[in-house]
Amino acid sequence: MYAGLAYVRPEKLDEALEFLEEHGGETAVVAGGTDVMVDLRSGALQTGYLLDVSRLSELKGIAMQGEELWVGAGTTLSEIYSSETLALFAPALQKAAFTFGSKQVRNTATIAGNVVNASPSADTMPPLLIHEARVVLASSNGVRTVPVEAMSTGPYKSAIHPDEVITRFILKPAKSMLADFQKIARRKALAISRMNMAVMAEKDETGKIMFMRLALGSSTPTPRRMEDVEAFLLGKRPDRALLWEAGQVLAEKMVEITGRRPSTGYKEKAAQGLFMRMLYPLV
Amino acid sequence: MLRIGAVERLKGEPIFSADLKLDHPLTLNVLRSSRAHARIVKIDINGALNVKGVVKVFTASDVPGNNLTGIINKDRPLLVSDKVRFVGDSIAFVAAENEEAAEKGVHAINVVYEDLPAVFDPEEALKDSAPKIHEKGNLLFSRKVKKGNIDKAFENCQAVVEKTYQTSCLEHTYLEPDAGAGYVDGDGTIVIFASTQNPHYDHSEVVSILGVEDEKVRIIQAATGGGFGSKLDLNVQGFIGLALYHLKRPVRYVYTREEAFLATAKRHPLTMIMKTGADRNGKLLAMRARIICDTGAYASYGIAVASRSAVHATGPYEVENVDIEAHCVYTNKPFSGAMRGFGAPQMAFANESQMDLLAKELSMDPFEIRRVNIFRQGSETATGQKLTESIGILECLDAIQPYYKGAVKKWRTSEASPFKRKGVGIGAMWYGIGNTGMRNPSTARVEMDPAGAVTLYTGCADIGQGSTTVLAQIVAETLCLEADAIQLVVGDTKYTTNAGATSASRQTYISGNAVKEAAEKLRELLMTGAVDVLKVGKGSLMLDSGFVADSNDNAKRVSFSKLAARAYKKGLPFVCQGYFDPETVPLDPETGQGVPYSTYAFACHLAFVTVDTMTGEVRVEKVVAAHDVGKAIYPEGVIGQICGGVAMGVGFALMEEFMHGQTESMKDYFIPTCKDMPEVIPIIVESREPTGPFGAKGVGEPALIPTAPAILNALNDALGERIYSLPANLERVLEASIRSGCFGPKEAKNV
Ligand SMILES: Cc1cc2nc3c(=O)[nH]c(=O)nc-3n(C[C@H](O)[C@H](O)[C@H](O)COP(=O)(O)OP(=O)(O)OC[C@H]3O[C@@H](n4cnc5c(N)ncnc54)[C@H](O)[C@@H]3O)c2cc1C
């Protein structure tokens, strides 16, 4: 099954990039392997080389750098789970780790792997979107930075170039009144999101919403920030009826983007319901 | 005491089929049909023969004996030659030096199909115009249970509830995918180690396929990682047997998870049209039930499932007038077979929903309506059987009632977060132990060697449920020894005699009795020998840890070993055979009247659920599970079964659904994780069964049966809306929430 597959594990980022410069087209980068190994076994992934980036120290670490929050590409979900920095500056991202896979999966799965795999249900995507994350990509030609929403062009379609490695994510840190991530799944662990959502919101002294970020996953071809809903609520005083209405806007937007599918019947209601549940603390 | 084999399992020592060390074993791979219903025009194996490493390709023409298999009726070819009946049917298989070659070989076989119209809906399949899946037509079997006059009785009812219920197709998802391995012995015997629930059946089936003498095949049950009914069918054993027969080289075959999903039995989806009526006191007067069991492409245990679902349709309640029909129907779906409960879990869901609906119509408490109708001493079942002993259902109901009262008073109304609703629900059940109105004996042998060591020989497969522990305890108790002093030979057809299937919750009761009889015979031999040695009458003799002693003068004693040595010297070895077959009366084909089982297990569960009205998410918080097992010979084992049963019940109720043509593996088939598990409060009720070993009955399947009904009734309690199709997944629960008016901005309670 894996005949002709070679495994490469560079010690330094430069070596990895050099290797990719030459063999990028016939190489799959592997970090935690929780997507790559599954796809190798099923045959969905055919490749000549596996380039293991899991030991590259250049991809590690979570830290505040001035006004920016840096999260290394190779950060595992377990590291996200227990990071005090994230608890302070990106609580929604941390919450995404709480319900992510199982402990075994979290111990090896990485944030970059989640983004590059480009599943519509990737759980780190909604939090990254509300933190307006930028992705730092390195190749032997240099470094480029793109917004996280540009990383994926459709379900399981990553915009990464074959000679590139993600080195880190740069997030806008936020300490807002409300910061949350929730997911709906068919069971309580080891389950792919049927729907996930991340939100940050802040009210001013008069009780009006003055800051809001909302992103929805598993419901559109790629996870999306929902600016229409943000705009709808901005400057308004939230009560139940208003939130319900905003949830309706969210559901309509989702259907507009995705079109009607067999799952829409559930999802348009669930989007409104989940939105209500998550925003309710603002009331 | 610790369960026998627990420490070894913990240390990873038991040998599963895949672990067996063999000398350069060949590996097998089966070519499965890609069509649901098609005539086979041609099978071209030449491509496969050219693959390096392929040793032989087998088709139906290589089967020397009977190509048809099946435990109740033989309708399933080991290898299809004329036509395929579902996606997954086995057409040919490759034996190769390694897995890669075997897989390549399979891909290189070319099959020319001629598609036939296929039918997937059992009701469609019953129509005259439907494509015929088997020669005899698509109706496999019907079981009717009729008594009294329902038309007249319905007229006298104060409340009549008529509803249709639907359950999903399930995959057992045992931990260890099907596996086997084997070799040909020095004397030409075909030896097969298998992951199985019934080694003696495997033996007869492999003998039949190969057309050889009984002695030429030996089946040994390898360590088995669960089965839940699916390992009652022949899975890998036939392929391995055929390969050994022709190639005489060691062979191993381990299914991938995908293969286990594709090619092994499923749980029958049931459609149940139920009409139940009661008078104004809640007394059930009449029931009409029409049940359709979708058995898929082959019968497997379909007849047993149809029969049992009809017999159990009333639940553990007296109903004087019944008109019940269960029809088992072939379709072009994966075949359904035995799965923990044989139709009883499906029926309990329908029936317990009906009970709550009737209670609501009559403004009765759900306990009250059950209490009015529940089986008591002297009750008559739908098949006309008078129940006389060991009817612990009322005790089970009583055991959970305090929890219910507490829940209604406090828990249900206690603060939940906004958008959450709480509910409690009851599920009750009865379950006949053993096969339905059929002979199903067990045998066992207990020997004492000249040194006084006792060995139990049993064909009873312990697949993780713990039968070996219980059977050893029974021998030990009878002979006044410690259970760990009993040597065990389990599930090896060369040495053990037939104990029947590990199914129908029958092994403790039936094999327990067979083992007990053998042990009692040995005890008798010891006593007789001791009379001779001690010159004391049998009446005053007793067994005392390895000795027979005079109960009046304890110093007067003789050891088992001495007695055994004497007997062997006389040419009368201490070898005792035991036998037990529960007394049943076959069911009348038209009315279903008869005695299907000689004893029944009973249980009641109470489920506590929290529902998210905004998203349809459900958390089962707690299940209180009271079980009448007759006598808990190994209480830890009973509790283990109850907790496992609840887990499976949670899956059945909320998430499990196998969709043919779509579901591939555990990636898209969800069984509960430990995070989905409720707190379980097991309550053991012991209503002694006089014909059981030390009063015992069974618990394996009963453990699962009441959970889903209790959860579904709890969901209804929480939302005020009922769900009639399983699983009660996100979509169905949210729909119910919307119907009930719980979904919306105003419904949020203040925190
Ligand atoms: C049992 C199980 C449960 C799961 N549960 C969840 C869940 O709850 N939520 C969820 O969102 N996902 C889940 N997943 C999916 C998976 O675990 C995640 O997508 C995970 O984040 C992938 O990370 P990884 O490091 O394992 O990626 P890998 O499998 O190593 O790689 C995935 C992709 O990312 C690329 N890649 C990895 N690192 C880099 C890098 N630094 N630069 C460039 N490309 C890179 C690889 O080339 C590959 O294309 C689950 C998977 C399994 C098997």
Q: Report yes or no on B155 lying in a domain.
A: no
**Which of A35, A119, A129 has most ligand 1 atoms within 8 Å of CB, for mutation?**
A35
Examine residue B161 and state whether it is found in any structural domain, yes or no: no
**Cα distances (Å, whole numbers) of residue B259 to B109, B143, B235, B301:** 18, 33, 10, 20
Nearest to A243 among B616, B619, B745 (CB): B745
A244 contacts B730? CB cut-off 8 A: no
Q: Which CATH number characterizes residue B632's domain?
A: 3.30.365.10
Confidence band of A1 (pLDDT split at 50, 70, 90): low
Rg (CA), chain A: 19
How remote is the C-alpha of A9 from its chain's centroid? 26
Which chain A residues are closer than 8 Å to B667 by Cβ?
A: 38
What's the token pair of residue A66? 């001035």
Please give the distance, rounded to the nearest whole angstrom, from the Cα atom of residue A70 to the centre of ligand 1: 19
Ligand 1: residues whose CB is within 6 Å? A 28-36, 38, 53, 59, 73, 100-101, 105, 108-110, 112-114, 116-117, 122-123, 160, 165-166, 190
pLDDT at B747: 57
Residue B690 burial by Cβ neighbours in a 10 Å radius (0-12, 13-18, 19+) = exposed
User: Tokens 């059946």 belong to which residue?
Assistant: B201
Task: Mark whether B271 and B256 lie in a shared domain.
Answer: no
Predicted confidence (pLDDT) per residue in B242-278, tens digit: 999 999 999 999 999 999 999 999 999 999 999 999 9
Please provide residue B331's backbone torsions phi and psi, each rounded to the nearest 5 degrees. -140, 180
Residue A139 parent element (H or E): strand A134-139
DSSP assignment, residue B380?
B
Q: Name the domain count of chain B.
A: 3
Whether B723 is in a domain gets the answer: yes
Residues near B146 by Cβ (< 8 Å), separated by ≥ 6? B322, B323, B324, B590, B591, B592
Answer yes or no: do B210 and B271 share one domain.
no
SS3 call for B16? strand
CA dist B95 to A80, B62, B287, Å?
48, 13, 54
Q: Are residues B353 and B455 in the same domain?
A: no
Q: Indicate if B210 and B346 belong to the same structural domain.
A: no
pLDDT category at B751 given cuts 50, 70, 90 is very low
C-alpha A113 – ligand 1 centre gap (Å): 4
**B647 Cβ contact partners less than 8 Å away, ≥ 6 residues apart:** B672, B677
Which of B272, B178, B179, B184 shows the shortest CA–CA distance to B228? B178
| Other CB atoms within 10 A of residue B488 CB | 18
Residues B429 and B448 in one domain: no
Query: What domains sit in chain A, N to C, each tagged with a CATH number?
Result: 6-51 (3.30.43), 58-171 (3.30.465.10), 178-282 (3.30.390.50)
Q: How far, in Å, CA of B346 to CA of B271, rounded?
A: 9
A191, closest residue in chain B (CA to CA): B670
Contacts of B137 by beta carbon, 8 Å cutoff, 6+ apart: none
pLDDT tens by residue, B649-683: 999 999 999 999 999 999 999 999 999 999 999 99
Domain shared by B449 and B416, yes or no = no
Q: Is the pLDDT of residue B363 over 50?
A: yes
| Domain boundary, last residue among B235, B263, B291 | B263
CB pairs under 8 A between A and B: 73
Q: In this complex, which of B100, B614, B675 lies closest to A189 when CB atoms are compared?
A: B675
Q: Are B83 and B132 spatial neighbours (Cβ–Cβ below 8 Å)?
A: no
Which of B403, B432, B387 shows the shortest CA–CA distance to B602? Answer: B432
The answer to whether residues B306 and B201 touch, using CB atoms and an 8 Å cutoff, is no
Q: Which of A42, A99, A187 to mutate to test the interface with B (most CBs of B within 10 A)?
A: A187
The strands making up A142-147's β-sheet, listed across from edge to edge, are A62-65, A68-72, A165-171, A134-139, A142-147
ipTM: 0.97
* Distance spanning both ends of chain A, measured CA to CA: 56
Give every CB contact of residue B103 below 8 A, 6+ residues apart in sequence.
A1, B29
Cβ within 8 Å of residue B2, ≥6 positions away: none
Q: Which domain holds residue B206?
A: 6-116+173-263
- Tens of pLDDT along B24-80? 999 999 999 999 999 999 999 999 999 999 999 999 999 999 999 999 999 999 999
Mean pLDDT value across chain A: 97
Of A13, A29, A45, the residue with max ligand 1 atoms within 8 A of its CB, to mutate for a pocket test, comes to: A29
Residue A99 CA: nearest ligand 1 atom is 8
* Co-location of B431 and B446 in the same domain: no
Residue that terminates a domain, selected from B263, B294, B310? B263
Give the closest-approach CA distance of A148 to chain B in angstroms: 27
How far, in Å, CA of B347 to CA of B734, rounded? 24
Q: Please say which residue of B207, B238, B263 terminates a domain.
A: B263
Assess whether B538 and B663 both reside in one domain.
no
Domain identity same for B450 and B556: yes
Closest C-alpha residue for ligand 1 atom 34: A113
CA distance B749 to chain A (A): 11
Taking only the tens place, the pLDDT of each residue in B386-444 is: 999 999 999 999 999 999 999 999 999 887 788 999 999 999 999 999 999 999 999 99
Please determine, for residue B324, whether its predicted confidence score (pLDDT) is greater than 60. Answer: yes
